[in-house]
């Protein structure tokens, strides 16, 4: 069964349309589903970031409040006043250091507390400050706060060694006034203890998070490279938050400190939050499209299959298969076309049947006309022979010749009933009648030799096929041109040859030249030559063979001058 080009073409067009629809659907899903969901998730992350910043602000504010608590406590101020009165007294200094140490223990995340009175040395809690802490209190940041009035702030982070571990510290420093003397209080806080819980919460929601100062440098120096690499992913001219294909970057400041939070989430984090919704939405869209596609393809098949069947049926009609019928299972245009096609097929079938019958009738009539041709000279001459015999009162001979002529005429007239075939035996009997007449007419000695195989005597062959060859043998081979007598031998041989039948008529007469043989086989002799030869002619035989057998029959002539001629009819078609 040949594929339906119309169906394939339609399905390809439908698939192209659905590909466009799918692309448009995905675009619409992105615009109306993915983007709003992304914005919603982004807003939630922004809210989360704001919440965390508030928590950090609260923690840092507690450090500032803690510093104020120490600076304004009466016991501290008493100890500070005693120290100012006698700064060289070791007991007084120790009492102030003890106070600072006791104050340090109040807040768990405090590493150390130091106070510097203008014009005096720095006094810290009992434990000596680390070198990094001392360096910080000699930095420009510290001097700037110390030299200002009633100002405070948080420092950059520092890392100190303690017990074999690195401890991150941030310092809060603020200047105060007491009895017209300014002093600066510094609280060193362990970063991880103060903001560790919040930072862990930060990291659990964001992929990366760092703290930077107002100038963009990392809070801790060792993080500077990571901060630079992260910020390099985004356009510096954009506002906050900054977004691109990599992800989203926030940078927000704190209320109570000069720190800024740099937090980042990759796009995959956002997609993970909305993945389930996207999968559900896209799946529903794809299922809907596939479902409608199946329905459309089914509809296409329903529409194109009848057309495809009609095409195959038409090809069958072209191949002469007029019995092809199409099912009429709809009342639409296709059903009407199917019904019309069936009706057309029936009419064509009937028309061609009639046409075939007409052609067969015409062929039979043409064939009948060909085999019913009787040379009027033969009839006339035979009647003259009968008249001559009657005048000599040879009544027996008259009866024989008249009976032979009657049999020949009766045999020819049978073609009117389209009895166009005779058995081999009937054909030979007719030839015997014909030769009997010719012997009375021309005299002489004509000997007929028949070699008919027993298994072919009842084979049916076209009527009057060998008699014209016998006639040609008489008048072209055996007739004496001087005295008009006919003398010689005519041999008829009929036998099976392979799957066909061979009929040979031969004589031992004058023979035919090769040029004449070529003319006979090429049908170059016209009607005048046929009349001159007193016979229907070879052309008649060849034409009848063509009508009945086409390429399944062959006519051959073999001849040699002064030795005779042999004409053979080979029929490879059915002869039974």
Distance separating alpha carbons of residues 511 and 256, to the nearest angstrom: 140
What are the start-end ranges of the H helices in 372-463? Answer: 376-391, 395-413, 424-442
Q: How many CA atoms within 13 Å lie on the side-chain side of 513?
A: 3
Report field, pTM of the whole predicted structure over 0.85 = no
The secondary structure element, H or E, covering residue 560 is strand 553-560
Distance separating alpha carbons of residues 457 and 424, to the nearest angstrom: 5
Nearest alpha carbon to residue 492 among 484, 502, 479: 502
| pLDDT, position 394 | 77
The token pair that represents 335 in the structure block: 């059903």
| pLDDT, position 59 | 93
Residue at token pair 């120790």 = 94
By DSSP bridging, strand 421-423 and strand 110-117 are unpaired
pLDDT digits (tens, 9 = 90+) for 508-567: 988 888 888 888 887 655 444 444 443 357 888 888 888 888 888 999 999 998 889 999
| pLDDT, position 530 | 47
| pLDDT, position 534 | 37
CA angle 562, 566, 571 (to 5 degrees): 170
Residue at token pair 């964001």 = 206
* Chain centroid to CA 116: 86
| pLDDT, position 531 | 43
Residues 212 and 6: beta-carbon distance below 8 Å: no
| pLDDT, position 255 | 82
pLDDT along the chain (576 residues), means of 10: 74 87 87 88 90 92 94 93 91 93 90 91 87 93 84 91 90 90 93 90 89 90 92 81 90 86 91 87 87 86 74 68 68 72 74 67 56 62 75 78 79 60 89 84 80 92 86 84 80 91 93 86 56 57 84 91 92 67
Nearest alpha carbon to residue 559 among 439, 473, 461, 443: 473
Burial group, residue 86, by CB count within 10 angstroms (0-12, 13-18, 19+)? exposed
Nearest alpha carbon to residue 235 among 245, 244, 247: 244
Q: Which residues are paired to 166 by β-bridges?
A: 161
| pLDDT, position 573 | 63
By DSSP bridging, strand 488-497 and strand 446-452 are parallel
The sheet carrying 208-212 orders its strands as: 208-212, 260-266, 247-253, 242-243
Distance separating alpha carbons of residues 43 and 53, to the nearest angstrom: 15
Residues 6 or more apart whose CB falls under 8 angstroms from that of 296 comprise: 14, 18
Burial group, residue 132, by CB count within 10 angstroms (0-12, 13-18, 19+)? middle
Residues 265 and 203: beta-carbon distance below 8 Å: no
């Amino acid at each position: 069964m040949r594929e339906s080009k119309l169906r394939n073409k339609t399905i390809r067009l439908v698939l192209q349309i659905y590909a466009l629809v799918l692309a448009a659907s995905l675009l619409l899903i992105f615009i109306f589903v993915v983007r709003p969901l992304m914005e919603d998730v982004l807003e939630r992350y922004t809210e989360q970031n704001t919440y965390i910043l508030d928590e950090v602000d609260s923690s840092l504010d507690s450090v500032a409040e803690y510093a104020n608590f120490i600076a304004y406590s009466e016991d501290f101020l008493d100890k500070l006043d005693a120290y100012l009165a006698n700064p060289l007294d070791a007991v007084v200094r120790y009492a102030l250091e003890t106070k600072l140490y006791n104050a340090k223990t109040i807040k768990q995340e405090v590493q150390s507390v130091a106070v510097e009175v203008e014009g005096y040395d720095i006094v810290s809690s009992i434990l000596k400050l680390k070198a990094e802490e001392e360096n910080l209190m000699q930095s420009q940041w510290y001097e700037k706060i110390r030299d200002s009035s009633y100002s405070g702030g948080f420092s950059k982070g520092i890392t100190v060694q303690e017990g074999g571990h690195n401890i991150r510290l941030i310092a809060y420093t603020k200047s105060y006034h007491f009895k017209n003397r300014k002093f600066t209080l510094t609280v060193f806080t362990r970063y991880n203890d103060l903001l560790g819980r919040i930072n862990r919460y930060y990291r659990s929601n964001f992929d990366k998070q760092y703290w930077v100062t107002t100038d963009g440098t990392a809070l801790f120096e060792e993080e500077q490279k990571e901060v630079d690499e992260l910020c390099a992913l985004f356009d510096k001219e954009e506002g906050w938050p900054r977004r691109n294909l990599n992800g989203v970057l926030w940078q927000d400041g704190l209320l109570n400190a000069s720190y800024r939070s740099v937090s980042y989430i990759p796009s995959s984090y956002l997609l993970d939050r909305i993945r389930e919704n996207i999968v559900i939405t896209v799946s529903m869209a794809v299922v809907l499209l596939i479902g409608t596609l199946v329905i459309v393809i089914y509809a296409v098949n329903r529409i194109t299959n009848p057309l495809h069947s009609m095409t195959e049926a038409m090809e069958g009609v072209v191949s002469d298969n007029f019995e092809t019928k199409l099912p009429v299972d709809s009342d639409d245009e296709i059903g009407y076309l199917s019904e019309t096609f069936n009706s057309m097929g029936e009419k064509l079938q009937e028309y061609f049947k009639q046409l075939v019958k007409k052609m067969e009738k015409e062929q039979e009539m043409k064939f009948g006309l060909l085999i019913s041709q009787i040379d009027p000279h033969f009839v006339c001459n035979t009647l003259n022979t009968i008249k001559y015999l009657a005048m000599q009162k040879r009544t027996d001979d008259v009866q024989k010749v008249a009976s032979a002529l009657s049999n020949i005429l009766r045999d020819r007239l049978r073609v009117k009933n389209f009895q166009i075939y005779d058995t081999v035996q009937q054909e030979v009997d007719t030839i015997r009648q014909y030769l009997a007449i010719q012997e009375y007419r021309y005299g002489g000695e004509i000997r007929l030799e028949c070699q008919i195989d027993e298994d072919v005597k009842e084979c049916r062959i076209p009527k009057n096929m060998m008699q014209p060859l016998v006639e040609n043998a008489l008048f072209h081979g055996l007739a004496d041109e001087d005295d008009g007598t006919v003398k010689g031998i005519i041999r008829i041989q009929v036998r099976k040859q392979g799957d066909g039948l061979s009929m040979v008529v031969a004589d031992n007469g004058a023979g035919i030249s090769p040029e004449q043989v070529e003319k006979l086989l090429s049908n170059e002799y016209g009607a005048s030559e046929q009349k001159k030869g007193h016979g229907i002619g070879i052309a008649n035989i060849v034409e009848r063979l063509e009508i009945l057998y086409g390429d399944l029959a062959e006519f051959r002539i073999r001849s040699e001058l002064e030795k005779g001629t042999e004409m053979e009819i080979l029929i490879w078609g059915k002869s039974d």
